[in-house]
Amino acid sequence: MKKFLILMFVFVSNLLFFSACSSDNDEYGDNNARYYIKYTVTGGSWFRPPFAHTSNPAPTTIEFHDKNSIVSESLSGSVKFSKVVGPVNKKFKASLSASGANNGGYSASYEGTIEILKDGEKLIGSSSNAGRGYIEVTCDIND
């Protein structure tokens, strides 16, 4: 009887051990696709005092959705911002905004783009927006 219990224990242990696999990963969905988000902002913000012939750089705030939270970066003058975030799952909500003063002697204009890349290669979606003072762009993963 003791021998039977030991053999049964070994059999059940092996069954559990071999049925659990380290390649089981539900984080990225059934097909294990990984999505990467590419954020891009161009443009800038400047201050031109009255009767001046030159412009001075003014601050721009860029916010984007990282893997876990909203990240804020500050740049000045001409803006050429690019950031890739990932891998993320299908439920990730990509968002991007850029803002700067656009009144009086201040002038700010931006163009923002979000690109969704499947497995880092295939473009499966994008969204863009352009404007003065403040822009916002969002894009869902529709794959």
The pLDDT tens digits for 30-50 are 457 799 999 999 999 999 888
Exposure on the CB side of residue 41, measured as CA atoms within 13 A:
31
pLDDT recorded at residue 54 = 82
pLDDT recorded at residue 18 = 46
Helix-strand-coil percent breakdown of the chain, rounded to 5?
15, 55, 30
pLDDT recorded at residue 83 = 96
Burial class (CB in 10 A: 0-12, 13-18, 19+), 10: exposed
Q: What is the pTM of this model?
A: 0.75
Pairing of strands 93-99, 59-65: antiparallel
pLDDT recorded at residue 70 = 95
